[in-house]
A and B are shown apart, each in its own frame.
Chain A
Amino acid sequence: MNGASRLARRLVPVVGIVLVAFFVVLAVSKPRGEAEVSSPLIGNPAPAVQSTIIGGGDFDLARRKGSWVVLNFFNSTCVPCRNEHPELIKFADEQTSLADGAELFTVVNDDSDEAVSAFFNEKGGDWDKVRDPDGTIAVAFGVAKVPETWVIDPSGFVRMRVAGEVTASLLSTRIAAMRDMLNGLGS
């Protein structure tokens, strides 16, 4: 037996082990879901956002001070956006029942008024949809892919960023915790 074939015989089990390990990792890894990610904006004042709302009206983020604001960057053709929609409806319903509930806004990302309206008419969700026709709001927040969800506190400071699909429980729990923390600081 020459050296090359001996080496090949030794390599076969190593390659086999690596392949098996690879498939095991693939099988047990969870699909990418919600992920709270960092941003230079967190802890800083939110960028100025002024735009219009589908169906009529203006939107100015500065005028929402005093309320917790949740901005959800959305596109009606994006699958994770469609997947998370029931969670957003659940979250909006929960917040409506609270005295100081958060306000939810959809920021339309690279999509038409008609497509967005058709989606919401079919799937539900009666919160305001803010236009972002040239992507100014997305760039101001550093949003490259949708969905992304941002939480802004009543003082106008950015508190949280979630990339990917979000759940109602994550938003509610985190906002409640931050609300308690800020109330504790104020008292």
Chain B
Amino acid sequence: MKRLKGRLAWSMMGVLAAVLLAFGATRSSGPSTQEERIDAISKRLACPTCNGESIYVSRASAAESIRNEIARQVAAGQRVDDEIVAYIESRFPGSLLLPPGEGVDSLVWILPVVALVCGFGGLVVVFRKWKREGDVQANADDAGVVAAALRDYEDPTEGL
């Protein structure tokens, strides 16, 4: 009965965690200002003339031009963020900082989750094994060994 309650509690916690994760991943953060949109889009794109810098960080001329274009498109209000990013990516191929969740690139997102699940599963198996080993009952041979040791302890000079 006690074990059943424990499993039920773990299951409920798992379901709750999954629901919260799904909610967090899909919820809309609500309307943001134009400046916030420009910043968010700029952070998703790499500067085409500098190594490892985003459009948001870079002061290069090309990055400034792209930032201006993002600002212009945000102000025009005709494209959503993903469409603006796609437009810049179409002009500067390879400028996406984060890989898309499609094809082989999706492994970047999937593998850490798989590793986490495998790690958690491994821990559960190991803990269960340890617990089972802890439940071992002493048999008659064990009792004999303990009795002999006690005898030796009570009379350590015996046999000298």
Known: A110-B61, A135-B61, A135-B64. A142 touches B92 (CB 8 A): yes
A115-143: which residues lie under 8 A (CB-CB) from chain B? Answer: 134-136, 138-143
Shortest B68–chain A CB gap in Å is 4
Least Cβ distance of A66 to chain B in Å? 26
Residues of chain A whose beta carbon lies under 8 Å from any beta carbon of chain B: 40-41, 109-110, 134-136, 138-145
Contact, CB under 8 Å: A139 / B90: no
By beta carbon, the residue of chain A nearest B70 is A139
Once the chains bind, are A139 and B93 in contact (CB under 8 Å)? no
Which among B62, B66, B91 is the interface contact of A145 at CB below 8 angstroms?
A: B62
| The 3 nearest A-B residue pairs measured at CB | A135-B65, A142-B91, A144-B48
Contact at B93–A135, with CB atoms within 8 Å? no
Chain A min CB distance to B47 (Å): 8
Contacts A135-B69, A136-B69 given; does A144 touch B90 at CB 8 Å: no
A40/B93 in contact, CB under 8 A: yes
Closest to A75 in B: B61
A-facing mask of B40-59, CB < 8 A → 1, else 0? 00000000110000000000
Q: Name A's interface SS.
A: loop
A144/B72 in contact, CB under 8 A: no
Query: CB-CB < 8 A to B48: which residues of A?
Result: 144
Q: A40-B90, A139-B88, A142-B93 are in contact. List 11 more A-B contacts (CB 8 A).
A: A40-B93, A41-B91, A134-B65, A135-B61, A135-B62, A135-B68, A136-B69, A139-B69, A139-B91, A143-B62, A144-B92
What residues on A are CB-neighbors of B65 within 8 Å? 110, 134-136, 138-139
CB distance from A148 to the nearest CB of B (A): 11
Q: Which residue of A has the minimal Cβ distance to B50?
A: A144
* A113–chain B nearest beta-carbon distance, Å: 17
A136 touches B68 (CB 8 A): yes
Task: Give A140 to B90 CA distance when docked, in angstroms.
Answer: 10
Residues on B with C-beta less than 8 A from A142 are 91-93
A42 to B90, CA, bound (A): 12
